[in-house]
Every structure is written in C-alpha cells, then in structure tokens.
Amino acid sequence: MREIEINKVYKHFKGNLYLVEDIATNSENGELYVVYRALYGDNKLYIRPLDMFLSEVDHEKYPDIEQKYRFEKAEIESLVK
C-alpha cells in the first residue's frame, strides 16, 4: 500500500498542489483522514478519507488524465540555491 508523507507536497490529478499536514483519526469509527492545505488561492484546509486520497484516478471518467493516482507526491525543486 502507498504511504502518505507528512509535510510533503502532493499534486492532484487536476493539477493543483497541496501540502499534507497530518493524518487524523475519526474518534467515532477510527477511520483515517488526510489533512491537507491548498497551495493556491486562500490556502484552505481540507480533509479526505485516506483510502480516497490514495485511490487511483477513474480513467473511464477522466480518459485524458495521465496521472495514475488521485494525489501523487510532487517533486519540487527549491528556487533557493
């Protein structure tokens, strides 16, 4: 199973970048959620079930998308040398 890395940037298959801030546990049922922040606009904070975050793109619905997974870790190079 793929693992999520905290404090890493992930790219959504539609193109936007997000910072994974943490993994949270639902106190009622134990379900795990990814807590992540948009790196655009007003930098909203989101949660999504871990299984959904790790899921593959529905290529029947989105046939032109090349990315395999809904979110993939982005390789970001520093602009500071």
Residues of the chain with pLDDT > 90: what percent? Answer: 78
pLDDT (0 to 100) of residue 59: 87
The pLDDT mean for the chain works out to 92
Specify the 3-state DSSP secondary structure of 54.
coil
- 34-56 pLDDT, tens digit each: 999 999 999 999 999 999 999 99
Q: Which CATH architecture has domain 9-73?
A: Roll (2.30)
| Dihedral angle sign, alpha carbons of residues 28, 31, 37, 38 | negative
Cα 81 to chain center, whole Å? 27
Are the CB atoms for 11 and 20 separated by under 8 Å?
A: no
Task: Show me where the domains of the chain are located.
Answer: 9-73
The pTM for the full model equals 0.86
Joined together, the tokens standing for residue 55 give: 């899921």
